[in-house]
Amino acid sequence: MKIALAQLNPTVADIAGNTARALEMLNSASDAGADLVVFPELAVSAYPHKDLVFERGFVHACEHAADALAQHAPADLTFAIGSLVVGEHGRAHNAALVYRNGSRIATYAKRLLPTYDVFDEDRFYAHGDEPCIFECAGLRVGVCICEDLWFGRDAGSEHRYAGRQDPVHALCDTQPDGSTGAELIVSLSASPYVIGKHAKHTRILCDHARRHSVHVASVNLVGAHDEIIFDGRSSLVSPDGTTIHQCGAFAEDIVVLDVDGTKVSTHTQMDDLDELAHALPFGIHEYCAKTGHEKVIIGLSGGIDSALVAALAARALGPESVICVAMPGPYSSAHSLTDARTQANALGVQYIEAPIADAFIGIRATLDAPFDLLHQPRIGAVSPDLAEQNIQARARGLVLMTISNRIPRSLVLTTGNKSEIAVGYCTLYGDMCGGLAPISDLVKTRVWDLSRYLNEHHARLGFAYPPIPQQVIDKPPSAELAPDQTDEADLMKYADLDAIVELHIEHALDEQSIATQTGIALSEVQRIVRRIRINEYKRKQMATGLKVTGKAFGYGRRFPIAHRFKLSDNND
Protein backbone atom coordinates (compact mmCIF):
# COMPACT_ATOMS: atom_id res chain seq x y z
CA MET A 1 0.00 0.00 0.00
CA LYS A 2 1.05 3.57 -0.68
CA ILE A 3 -0.10 6.06 1.92
CA ALA A 4 -0.06 9.85 1.63
CA LEU A 5 0.44 11.93 4.76
CA ALA A 6 -1.40 15.17 3.92
CA GLN A 7 -0.16 17.68 6.49
CA LEU A 8 -2.69 20.44 5.84
CA ASN A 9 -2.64 24.03 7.12
CA PRO A 10 -6.32 25.01 7.37
CA THR A 11 -7.91 28.21 8.65
CA VAL A 12 -10.62 28.12 11.29
CA ALA A 13 -14.08 28.12 9.68
CA ASP A 14 -12.74 28.62 6.14
CA ILE A 15 -14.59 25.48 5.16
CA ALA A 16 -14.53 26.15 1.41
CA GLY A 17 -10.87 27.12 1.40
CA ASN A 18 -9.83 24.18 3.54
CA THR A 19 -11.62 21.61 1.39
CA ALA A 20 -10.32 23.23 -1.80
CA ARG A 21 -6.76 22.83 -0.53
CA ALA A 22 -7.56 19.25 0.53
CA LEU A 23 -8.73 18.50 -3.02
CA GLU A 24 -5.42 19.80 -4.40
CA MET A 25 -3.61 17.44 -2.06
CA LEU A 26 -5.85 14.53 -3.07
CA ASN A 27 -5.09 15.11 -6.74
CA SER A 28 -1.37 15.37 -6.02
CA ALA A 29 -1.41 12.15 -4.00
CA SER A 30 -3.37 10.33 -6.70
CA ASP A 31 -0.86 11.42 -9.34
CA ALA A 32 1.89 9.96 -7.12
CA GLY A 33 0.12 6.60 -6.93
CA ALA A 34 -1.31 6.78 -3.42
CA ASP A 35 -3.91 4.24 -2.33
CA LEU A 36 -4.82 6.03 0.91
CA VAL A 37 -4.60 9.71 1.89
CA VAL A 38 -4.83 10.73 5.53
CA PHE A 39 -5.54 14.31 6.61
CA PRO A 40 -5.31 15.80 10.12
CA GLU A 41 -7.97 15.98 12.79
CA LEU A 42 -10.68 18.55 12.02
CA ALA A 43 -9.02 19.49 8.74
CA VAL A 44 -12.35 20.71 7.38
CA SER A 45 -13.09 23.24 10.14
CA ALA A 46 -9.56 23.66 11.55
CA TYR A 47 -8.85 23.49 15.27
CA PRO A 48 -9.68 24.96 17.72
CA HIS A 49 -13.00 26.27 16.47
CA LYS A 50 -14.17 26.85 20.06
CA ASP A 51 -17.81 27.96 20.36
CA LEU A 52 -18.33 28.16 16.62
CA VAL A 53 -19.48 24.56 17.06
CA PHE A 54 -22.65 25.96 18.66
CA GLU A 55 -23.36 28.36 15.80
CA ARG A 56 -26.41 27.34 13.84
CA GLY A 57 -25.46 25.30 10.79
CA PHE A 58 -21.71 25.16 11.44
CA VAL A 59 -21.47 21.42 12.10
CA HIS A 60 -23.80 20.60 9.21
CA ALA A 61 -21.71 22.81 6.91
CA CYS A 62 -18.53 20.94 7.83
CA GLU A 63 -20.06 17.51 7.31
CA HIS A 64 -21.66 18.58 4.02
CA ALA A 65 -18.35 20.00 2.77
CA ALA A 66 -16.54 16.74 3.53
CA ASP A 67 -19.19 14.76 1.66
CA ALA A 68 -18.97 17.20 -1.26
CA LEU A 69 -15.17 16.89 -1.32
CA ALA A 70 -15.56 13.15 -1.84
CA GLN A 71 -17.63 13.78 -4.96
CA HIS A 72 -14.68 15.57 -6.57
CA ALA A 73 -11.89 13.32 -5.32
CA PRO A 74 -10.05 11.04 -7.77
CA ALA A 75 -11.79 7.71 -8.37
CA ASP A 76 -10.52 4.64 -6.50
CA LEU A 77 -8.61 6.82 -4.03
CA THR A 78 -9.45 6.22 -0.37
CA PHE A 79 -9.05 9.11 2.03
CA ALA A 80 -9.69 9.88 5.69
CA ILE A 81 -10.33 13.45 6.78
CA GLY A 82 -11.16 15.05 10.12
CA SER A 83 -14.49 16.83 10.33
CA LEU A 84 -17.31 17.69 12.65
CA VAL A 85 -20.42 15.56 12.21
CA VAL A 86 -23.83 15.63 13.82
CA GLY A 87 -24.15 12.91 16.44
CA GLU A 88 -26.99 11.55 18.51
CA HIS A 89 -29.17 14.06 20.36
CA GLY A 90 -27.78 16.82 18.14
CA ARG A 91 -24.34 16.97 19.76
CA ALA A 92 -21.32 17.16 17.51
CA HIS A 93 -18.71 14.45 17.13
CA ASN A 94 -15.06 15.12 16.41
CA ALA A 95 -14.86 12.53 13.66
CA ALA A 96 -12.74 10.88 11.01
CA LEU A 97 -14.66 10.35 7.78
CA VAL A 98 -13.42 7.73 5.32
CA TYR A 99 -14.38 7.97 1.64
CA ARG A 100 -13.91 5.96 -1.53
CA ASN A 101 -15.42 6.52 -4.99
CA GLY A 102 -17.51 9.42 -3.76
CA SER A 103 -19.13 7.53 -0.89
CA ARG A 104 -18.48 7.54 2.84
CA ILE A 105 -17.43 4.04 3.84
CA ALA A 106 -16.73 4.67 7.53
CA THR A 107 -17.31 7.24 10.27
CA TYR A 108 -15.28 7.20 13.46
CA ALA A 109 -16.09 9.41 16.45
CA LYS A 110 -13.17 10.31 18.71
CA ARG A 111 -13.35 8.24 21.89
CA LEU A 112 -11.10 10.13 24.32
CA LEU A 113 -11.94 13.83 24.61
CA PRO A 114 -9.22 15.86 26.34
CA THR A 115 -10.50 18.46 28.76
CA TYR A 116 -7.46 20.12 30.30
CA ASP A 117 -5.15 23.02 29.51
CA VAL A 118 -6.26 24.48 26.14
CA PHE A 119 -8.48 21.47 25.42
CA ASP A 120 -12.18 21.71 26.24
CA GLU A 121 -13.56 18.89 24.13
CA ASP A 122 -16.17 17.61 26.59
CA ARG A 123 -17.77 21.02 26.20
CA PHE A 124 -17.94 20.74 22.43
CA TYR A 125 -18.41 17.07 21.51
CA ALA A 126 -19.98 13.79 22.47
CA HIS A 127 -17.44 10.97 22.64
CA GLY A 128 -17.62 7.87 20.48
CA ASP A 129 -17.68 4.29 21.77
CA GLU A 130 -16.88 2.06 18.82
CA PRO A 131 -13.62 1.20 17.03
CA CYS A 132 -13.36 1.73 13.29
CA ILE A 133 -11.53 -0.56 10.84
CA PHE A 134 -11.76 -0.46 7.05
CA GLU A 135 -9.89 -2.25 4.28
CA CYS A 136 -7.68 -0.55 1.72
CA ALA A 137 -5.28 -2.12 -0.78
CA GLY A 138 -5.41 -5.43 1.08
CA LEU A 139 -4.66 -3.99 4.53
CA ARG A 140 -6.95 -3.62 7.51
CA VAL A 141 -6.69 0.01 8.61
CA GLY A 142 -7.71 1.15 12.09
CA VAL A 143 -8.62 4.76 12.79
CA CYS A 144 -8.01 6.84 15.88
CA ILE A 145 -7.88 10.56 16.60
CA CYS A 146 -5.07 12.29 18.50
CA GLU A 147 -5.83 11.79 22.23
CA ASP A 148 -6.88 8.20 21.53
CA LEU A 149 -3.16 7.39 21.23
CA TRP A 150 -2.34 8.86 24.65
CA PHE A 151 -4.45 6.48 26.75
CA GLY A 152 -2.54 5.58 29.92
CA ARG A 153 0.60 7.44 28.86
CA ASP A 154 0.79 9.53 32.01
CA ALA A 155 -0.85 9.76 35.41
CA GLY A 156 -3.24 12.42 34.17
CA SER A 157 -4.46 10.19 31.36
CA GLU A 158 -4.94 7.24 33.72
CA HIS A 159 -7.11 9.41 35.95
CA ARG A 160 -9.08 11.09 33.17
CA TYR A 161 -9.97 7.90 31.35
CA ALA A 162 -10.25 5.45 34.23
CA GLY A 163 -12.56 2.61 33.33
CA ARG A 164 -12.45 3.41 29.62
CA GLN A 165 -11.20 1.06 26.91
CA ASP A 166 -7.82 1.72 25.30
CA PRO A 167 -8.78 2.78 21.74
CA VAL A 168 -5.58 1.36 20.20
CA HIS A 169 -5.99 -2.02 21.92
CA ALA A 170 -9.56 -2.08 20.66
CA LEU A 171 -8.30 -1.68 17.09
CA CYS A 172 -5.52 -4.25 17.28
CA ASP A 173 -7.34 -7.01 19.17
CA THR A 174 -9.57 -9.56 17.49
CA GLN A 175 -12.84 -7.81 16.67
CA PRO A 176 -16.24 -8.80 18.13
CA ASP A 177 -17.21 -10.36 14.80
CA GLY A 178 -14.13 -12.59 14.91
CA SER A 179 -12.19 -10.66 12.29
CA THR A 180 -8.54 -9.81 12.83
CA GLY A 181 -7.40 -6.48 14.15
CA ALA A 182 -5.81 -3.62 12.28
CA GLU A 183 -2.49 -3.98 10.46
CA LEU A 184 -2.07 -0.22 10.04
CA ILE A 185 -3.16 2.44 12.53
CA VAL A 186 -3.83 5.92 11.18
CA SER A 187 -4.14 8.74 13.69
CA LEU A 188 -5.66 12.04 12.62
CA SER A 189 -4.17 14.61 14.94
CA ALA A 190 -4.33 18.27 15.94
CA SER A 191 -1.62 18.20 18.59
CA PRO A 192 -0.38 21.66 19.63
CA TYR A 193 3.31 22.45 19.74
CA VAL A 194 4.92 22.51 23.18
CA ILE A 195 8.67 22.59 23.83
CA GLY A 196 9.95 19.01 24.00
CA LYS A 197 6.56 17.40 23.27
CA HIS A 198 7.47 16.03 19.84
CA ALA A 199 10.01 13.59 21.24
CA LYS A 200 7.40 12.22 23.67
CA HIS A 201 4.85 11.91 20.87
CA THR A 202 7.35 10.00 18.73
CA ARG A 203 8.04 7.59 21.60
CA ILE A 204 4.32 6.91 21.95
CA LEU A 205 3.96 6.16 18.23
CA CYS A 206 6.95 3.83 18.28
CA ASP A 207 5.71 2.09 21.42
CA HIS A 208 2.29 1.42 19.87
CA ALA A 209 3.93 0.11 16.70
CA ARG A 210 6.19 -2.32 18.59
CA ARG A 211 3.58 -3.41 21.11
CA HIS A 212 0.99 -4.32 18.49
CA SER A 213 3.33 -5.15 15.57
CA VAL A 214 1.58 -2.67 13.29
CA HIS A 215 2.51 0.30 11.16
CA VAL A 216 1.40 3.60 12.69
CA ALA A 217 0.81 6.77 10.67
CA SER A 218 0.16 10.01 12.53
CA VAL A 219 -0.90 13.04 10.49
CA ASN A 220 -0.74 16.25 12.48
CA LEU A 221 -2.22 19.63 11.75
CA VAL A 222 0.19 22.42 10.86
CA GLY A 223 -0.46 26.13 11.27
CA ALA A 224 -1.43 28.42 14.11
CA HIS A 225 -4.77 29.66 15.36
CA ASP A 226 -4.80 32.45 17.92
CA GLU A 227 -2.44 31.32 20.71
CA ILE A 228 -1.99 27.71 19.60
CA ILE A 229 0.77 26.62 17.21
CA PHE A 230 0.68 23.28 15.40
CA ASP A 231 4.05 21.98 14.28
CA GLY A 232 3.08 19.23 11.84
CA ARG A 233 5.91 16.67 11.80
CA SER A 234 3.54 13.91 10.69
CA SER A 235 5.20 10.52 10.60
CA LEU A 236 5.01 6.88 9.58
CA VAL A 237 6.46 4.25 11.94
CA SER A 238 7.19 0.61 11.13
CA PRO A 239 6.21 -2.34 13.38
CA ASP A 240 9.71 -2.48 14.85
CA GLY A 241 9.41 1.13 16.03
CA THR A 242 11.56 2.67 13.30
CA THR A 243 10.46 6.04 11.94
CA ILE A 244 10.15 5.55 8.19
CA HIS A 245 9.44 9.19 7.45
CA GLN A 246 8.77 12.46 9.23
CA CYS A 247 7.21 15.43 7.47
CA GLY A 248 8.55 18.94 7.82
CA ALA A 249 8.12 21.10 10.90
CA PHE A 250 6.06 24.30 10.83
CA ALA A 251 5.22 23.96 7.12
CA GLU A 252 2.52 22.36 5.03
CA ASP A 253 3.70 19.09 3.51
CA ILE A 254 2.47 16.02 1.66
CA VAL A 255 4.42 12.84 1.04
CA VAL A 256 3.51 9.48 -0.50
CA LEU A 257 5.16 6.48 1.17
CA ASP A 258 5.23 2.73 0.65
CA VAL A 259 3.96 1.27 3.90
CA ASP A 260 6.11 -1.83 3.42
CA GLY A 261 9.13 0.13 2.24
CA THR A 262 12.50 0.02 3.92
CA LYS A 263 13.22 3.75 3.83
CA VAL A 264 14.37 5.09 7.18
CA SER A 265 13.89 8.73 8.07
CA THR A 266 17.01 10.86 8.13
CA HIS A 267 15.34 13.95 9.59
CA THR A 268 17.39 15.97 12.06
CA GLN A 269 15.90 16.37 15.51
CA MET A 270 15.45 19.98 16.58
CA ASP A 271 16.57 21.04 20.03
CA ASP A 272 14.41 23.33 22.16
CA LEU A 273 15.94 26.60 20.97
CA ASP A 274 15.87 25.57 17.32
CA GLU A 275 12.19 24.72 17.71
CA LEU A 276 11.49 28.12 19.25
CA ALA A 277 13.47 29.89 16.53
CA HIS A 278 11.03 28.37 14.04
CA ALA A 279 7.83 28.17 16.09
CA LEU A 280 7.58 31.79 17.19
CA PRO A 281 8.10 33.40 13.76
CA PHE A 282 5.69 30.83 12.37
CA GLY A 283 3.11 31.79 14.99
CA ILE A 284 3.53 35.49 14.19
CA HIS A 285 3.23 34.87 10.46
CA GLU A 286 0.17 32.66 10.85
CA TYR A 287 -1.60 35.11 13.16
CA CYS A 288 -1.05 38.00 10.75
CA ALA A 289 -1.96 35.98 7.65
CA LYS A 290 -5.16 34.60 9.16
CA THR A 291 -6.31 37.91 10.66
CA GLY A 292 -5.47 40.01 7.61
CA HIS A 293 -2.60 42.05 9.06
CA GLU A 294 0.24 43.03 6.74
CA LYS A 295 2.54 45.06 9.00
CA VAL A 296 3.55 44.95 12.63
CA ILE A 297 4.58 47.80 14.91
CA ILE A 298 6.99 47.29 17.78
CA GLY A 299 8.17 49.66 20.48
CA LEU A 300 11.93 49.17 20.26
CA SER A 301 13.41 50.24 23.59
CA GLY A 302 16.98 49.04 23.25
CA GLY A 303 16.22 46.26 25.73
CA ILE A 304 16.36 42.52 25.21
CA ASP A 305 12.62 41.76 25.08
CA SER A 306 11.73 44.19 22.31
CA ALA A 307 14.94 43.28 20.50
CA LEU A 308 13.94 39.61 20.41
CA VAL A 309 10.39 40.41 19.27
CA ALA A 310 11.75 42.62 16.47
CA ALA A 311 14.08 39.85 15.30
CA LEU A 312 11.31 37.24 15.36
CA ALA A 313 8.93 39.55 13.50
CA ALA A 314 11.49 40.35 10.82
CA ARG A 315 12.07 36.63 10.30
CA ALA A 316 8.33 35.96 10.23
CA LEU A 317 7.17 38.70 7.88
CA GLY A 318 10.27 40.14 6.25
CA PRO A 319 11.89 43.41 7.38
CA GLU A 320 9.75 45.43 4.98
CA SER A 321 6.69 44.55 7.07
CA VAL A 322 8.14 45.63 10.43
CA ILE A 323 8.03 49.16 11.84
CA CYS A 324 10.13 49.76 14.96
CA VAL A 325 9.44 52.86 17.04
CA ALA A 326 11.93 54.14 19.60
CA MET A 327 10.27 56.37 22.21
CA PRO A 328 12.92 57.85 24.52
CA GLY A 329 11.61 59.35 27.72
CA PRO A 330 12.97 61.41 30.61
CA TYR A 331 14.94 58.49 32.09
CA SER A 332 16.03 56.74 28.89
CA SER A 333 19.75 56.19 28.50
CA ALA A 334 21.69 57.28 25.45
CA HIS A 335 22.94 53.75 24.87
CA SER A 336 19.38 52.42 24.67
CA LEU A 337 18.60 54.70 21.73
CA THR A 338 21.90 53.78 20.08
CA ASP A 339 21.21 50.08 20.57
CA ALA A 340 17.74 50.42 19.04
CA ARG A 341 19.13 52.18 15.97
CA THR A 342 21.90 49.60 15.61
CA GLN A 343 19.48 46.71 15.68
CA ALA A 344 17.01 48.31 13.29
CA ASN A 345 19.82 48.87 10.79
CA ALA A 346 21.01 45.27 11.13
CA LEU A 347 17.49 43.93 10.57
CA GLY A 348 16.68 46.33 7.74
CA VAL A 349 13.34 47.28 9.29
CA GLN A 350 11.72 50.70 9.15
CA TYR A 351 12.83 52.73 12.15
CA ILE A 352 11.38 55.94 13.55
CA GLU A 353 11.86 57.92 16.74
CA ALA A 354 9.00 59.49 18.68
CA PRO A 355 10.24 61.03 21.95
CA ILE A 356 7.60 61.11 24.68
CA ALA A 357 9.07 63.92 26.81
CA ASP A 358 6.54 66.54 25.67
CA ALA A 359 3.63 64.14 26.14
CA PHE A 360 4.92 63.24 29.60
CA ILE A 361 5.18 66.91 30.61
CA GLY A 362 1.73 67.65 29.22
CA ILE A 363 0.08 64.78 31.07
CA ARG A 364 1.82 65.79 34.30
CA ALA A 365 0.49 69.32 33.92
CA THR A 366 -3.00 68.03 33.16
CA LEU A 367 -2.97 66.08 36.41
CA ASP A 368 -1.85 68.97 38.66
CA ALA A 369 -5.36 70.33 39.30
CA PRO A 370 -7.01 66.93 39.85
CA PHE A 371 -4.31 65.89 42.31
CA ASP A 372 -4.64 69.20 44.17
CA LEU A 373 -8.37 68.60 44.55
CA LEU A 374 -7.71 65.02 45.68
CA HIS A 375 -5.09 66.22 48.18
CA GLN A 376 -2.44 64.10 46.49
CA PRO A 377 1.13 65.18 45.73
CA ARG A 378 1.68 66.35 42.19
CA ILE A 379 3.62 64.17 39.78
CA GLY A 380 7.25 65.19 40.17
CA ALA A 381 6.81 66.48 43.71
CA VAL A 382 8.17 63.19 45.02
CA SER A 383 10.75 60.77 43.63
CA PRO A 384 9.39 58.89 40.58
CA ASP A 385 6.61 56.71 41.93
CA LEU A 386 4.49 54.12 40.17
CA ALA A 387 2.05 56.73 38.86
CA GLU A 388 4.85 58.70 37.20
CA GLN A 389 6.43 55.55 35.78
CA ASN A 390 3.14 54.40 34.31
CA ILE A 391 2.53 57.74 32.59
CA GLN A 392 5.63 57.05 30.51
CA ALA A 393 4.58 53.51 29.63
CA ARG A 394 1.07 54.65 28.70
CA ALA A 395 2.36 57.51 26.59
CA ARG A 396 4.37 54.96 24.62
CA GLY A 397 1.33 52.72 24.29
CA LEU A 398 -0.67 55.68 22.97
CA VAL A 399 1.98 56.40 20.34
CA LEU A 400 2.08 52.80 19.13
CA MET A 401 -1.68 52.37 19.00
CA THR A 402 -2.16 55.69 17.19
CA ILE A 403 0.39 54.72 14.56
CA SER A 404 -1.42 51.42 14.16
CA ASN A 405 -4.73 53.26 13.72
CA ARG A 406 -3.25 55.29 10.87
CA ILE A 407 -1.54 52.43 9.01
CA PRO A 408 -4.07 50.07 7.44
CA ARG A 409 -3.86 46.40 8.40
CA SER A 410 -1.12 46.96 10.97
CA LEU A 411 -0.80 45.23 14.33
CA VAL A 412 1.07 46.24 17.48
CA LEU A 413 3.16 43.44 18.97
CA THR A 414 3.64 43.55 22.73
CA THR A 415 7.04 42.64 24.11
CA GLY A 416 6.41 41.32 27.63
CA ASN A 417 7.96 38.04 28.75
CA LYS A 418 6.40 35.37 30.97
CA SER A 419 8.38 36.28 34.09
CA GLU A 420 7.27 39.90 34.10
CA ILE A 421 3.68 39.15 33.06
CA ALA A 422 3.50 36.62 35.90
CA VAL A 423 4.33 39.16 38.60
CA GLY A 424 2.60 42.13 36.98
CA TYR A 425 5.83 43.95 36.12
CA CYS A 426 4.04 45.57 33.20
CA THR A 427 1.59 48.41 32.66
CA LEU A 428 -2.00 48.06 31.56
CA TYR A 429 -2.67 50.30 28.55
CA GLY A 430 1.07 50.89 28.36
CA ASP A 431 3.61 48.25 27.37
CA MET A 432 0.74 45.73 27.40
CA CYS A 433 -0.95 47.51 24.46
CA GLY A 434 -1.19 45.43 21.31
CA GLY A 435 -2.83 42.51 19.59
CA LEU A 436 -0.28 39.70 19.88
CA ALA A 437 2.29 38.85 22.55
CA PRO A 438 4.92 36.67 20.83
CA ILE A 439 7.20 36.01 23.83
CA SER A 440 4.63 35.97 26.64
CA ASP A 441 5.36 32.27 27.27
CA LEU A 442 9.15 32.68 27.51
CA VAL A 443 10.67 33.30 30.92
CA LYS A 444 13.43 35.89 30.95
CA THR A 445 16.36 33.47 30.97
CA ARG A 446 14.88 31.75 27.92
CA VAL A 447 14.60 35.15 26.21
CA TRP A 448 18.35 35.53 26.65
CA ASP A 449 19.05 31.98 25.52
CA LEU A 450 16.96 32.35 22.37
CA SER A 451 18.54 35.71 21.58
CA ARG A 452 22.02 34.19 21.76
CA TYR A 453 20.84 31.28 19.61
CA LEU A 454 19.51 33.59 16.89
CA ASN A 455 22.83 35.40 16.79
CA GLU A 456 24.88 32.21 16.72
CA HIS A 457 22.80 30.67 13.91
CA HIS A 458 21.80 33.87 12.12
CA ALA A 459 22.90 32.84 8.63
CA ARG A 460 21.06 29.50 8.73
CA LEU A 461 17.96 31.26 10.02
CA GLY A 462 17.97 33.80 7.20
CA PHE A 463 19.46 36.87 8.88
CA ALA A 464 22.15 38.82 7.04
CA TYR A 465 23.74 39.80 10.36
CA PRO A 466 23.37 38.74 13.99
CA PRO A 467 19.91 40.19 14.67
CA ILE A 468 20.42 41.31 18.27
CA PRO A 469 23.32 43.56 19.31
CA GLN A 470 25.55 41.83 21.82
CA GLN A 471 25.44 44.82 24.15
CA VAL A 472 21.66 44.43 24.39
CA ILE A 473 22.13 40.85 25.57
CA ASP A 474 24.89 41.76 28.01
CA LYS A 475 23.54 44.85 29.76
CA PRO A 476 21.38 44.67 32.92
CA PRO A 477 17.72 44.87 31.92
CA SER A 478 15.88 48.03 32.92
CA ALA A 479 12.46 49.53 32.27
CA GLU A 480 14.15 52.97 32.44
CA LEU A 481 11.12 54.57 34.05
CA ALA A 482 13.09 55.96 37.00
CA PRO A 483 16.73 56.96 37.64
CA ASP A 484 19.18 54.05 37.95
CA GLN A 485 16.35 51.52 37.75
CA THR A 486 17.06 47.84 37.07
CA ASP A 487 14.58 45.00 36.76
CA GLU A 488 16.40 42.67 39.13
CA ALA A 489 16.53 45.34 41.85
CA ASP A 490 12.76 45.75 41.52
CA LEU A 491 12.08 42.00 41.40
CA MET A 492 14.88 39.52 42.18
CA LYS A 493 17.53 37.73 40.15
CA TYR A 494 15.85 36.48 37.00
CA ALA A 495 17.28 32.99 37.43
CA ASP A 496 15.44 32.70 40.74
CA LEU A 497 12.29 34.42 39.51
CA ASP A 498 12.12 32.13 36.49
CA ALA A 499 12.50 29.03 38.64
CA ILE A 500 9.59 30.13 40.82
CA VAL A 501 7.40 31.05 37.85
CA GLU A 502 8.05 27.77 36.04
CA LEU A 503 7.52 25.59 39.11
CA HIS A 504 4.39 27.43 40.22
CA ILE A 505 2.73 28.04 36.84
CA GLU A 506 3.83 25.03 34.82
CA HIS A 507 4.08 22.45 37.61
CA ALA A 508 1.56 23.83 40.15
CA LEU A 509 3.94 23.52 43.11
CA ASP A 510 3.17 25.37 46.34
CA GLU A 511 5.49 27.82 48.04
CA GLN A 512 7.10 25.35 50.44
CA SER A 513 7.78 22.81 47.70
CA ILE A 514 9.36 25.50 45.52
CA ALA A 515 11.54 26.74 48.36
CA THR A 516 12.67 23.20 49.16
CA GLN A 517 13.43 22.36 45.54
CA THR A 518 15.24 25.60 44.67
CA GLY A 519 16.85 26.67 47.94
CA ILE A 520 15.27 30.11 47.59
CA ALA A 521 14.10 31.58 50.90
CA LEU A 522 10.48 30.71 51.62
CA SER A 523 9.63 34.37 52.29
CA GLU A 524 10.90 35.31 48.82
CA VAL A 525 8.95 32.51 47.18
CA GLN A 526 5.81 33.62 49.02
CA ARG A 527 6.36 37.22 47.90
CA ILE A 528 6.57 36.19 44.24
CA VAL A 529 3.66 33.76 44.38
CA ARG A 530 1.54 36.47 45.98
CA ARG A 531 2.44 38.82 43.13
CA ILE A 532 1.44 36.16 40.64
CA ARG A 533 -1.96 35.80 42.30
CA ILE A 534 -2.83 39.47 42.69
CA ASN A 535 -1.93 40.31 39.09
CA GLU A 536 -4.46 38.00 37.48
CA TYR A 537 -6.51 41.08 36.58
CA LYS A 538 -3.73 42.31 34.33
CA ARG A 539 -3.42 39.00 32.53
CA LYS A 540 -7.16 39.00 31.84
CA GLN A 541 -6.52 42.06 29.66
CA MET A 542 -3.27 41.01 27.99
CA ALA A 543 -2.88 40.43 24.28
CA THR A 544 -3.18 36.92 22.88
CA GLY A 545 0.13 35.18 23.61
CA LEU A 546 1.76 32.40 21.62
CA LYS A 547 1.79 29.20 23.68
CA VAL A 548 5.01 27.16 23.69
CA THR A 549 5.08 25.58 27.17
CA GLY A 550 2.86 23.11 28.96
CA LYS A 551 1.08 25.92 30.80
CA ALA A 552 0.86 29.37 29.30
CA PHE A 553 -1.14 32.39 30.40
CA GLY A 554 -4.37 32.48 28.43
CA TYR A 555 -7.07 30.01 27.47
CA GLY A 556 -5.38 27.05 29.16
CA ARG A 557 -5.04 28.73 32.58
CA ARG A 558 -8.32 30.10 33.87
CA PHE A 559 -8.10 31.56 37.36
CA PRO A 560 -10.57 33.93 39.03
CA ILE A 561 -9.48 37.46 39.83
CA ALA A 562 -11.28 37.63 43.18
CA HIS A 563 -10.46 34.65 45.38
CA ARG A 564 -8.77 33.83 48.69
CA PHE A 565 -7.53 30.30 48.16
CA LYS A 566 -3.88 29.56 48.93
CA LEU A 567 -2.08 26.38 47.98
CA SER A 568 -0.82 26.16 51.55
CA ASP A 569 -4.47 25.98 52.73
CA ASN A 570 -4.90 22.66 50.94
CA ASN A 571 -4.04 19.92 53.42
CA ASP A 572 -4.79 17.01 51.07
Which residues are catalytically annotated? 41, 110, 146
What is the rounded CA–CA span in Å between residue 234 and residue 253?
Answer: 9
Residues forming beta bridges with residue 224, ordered by sequence position: 229
Q: Rounded to an integer, what is the distance from CA 444 to the centroid of its chain?
A: 18
Q: Rounded to an integer, what is the distance from CA 199 to the centroid of its chain?
A: 17
Residues forming beta bridges with residue 107, ordered by sequence position: 97
What is the rounded CA–CA span in Å between residue 198 and residue 204?
Answer: 10
- Write the single-letter amino acid at 274: D
What is the rounded CA–CA span in Å between residue 540 and residue 530?
Answer: 17
- Write the single-letter amino acid at 336: S
Judging by beta carbons within 10 Å of its beta carbon (0-12, 13-18, 19+), is residue 474 exposed, middle or buried?
Answer: exposed
Going from the C-alpha of 429 to that of each of 38, 129, 213, 362, 415, the distances in angstroms are 46, 49, 57, 18, 13
3-state SS, 373-440, equals HCCCCCCCCCCCCHHHHHHHHHHHHHHHHHHHHHCCCEEEECCCCHHHHHHCCCCCCCCCCCCEECCC
A 10 A CB-CB count for 117 gives 16
What is the rounded CA–CA span in Å between residue 316 and residue 310?
Answer: 10
User: Residue 112 contacts by C-beta under 8 Å, 6 or more apart in sequence?
Assistant: 127, 147, 148, 150, 151, 160, 161, 164, 167
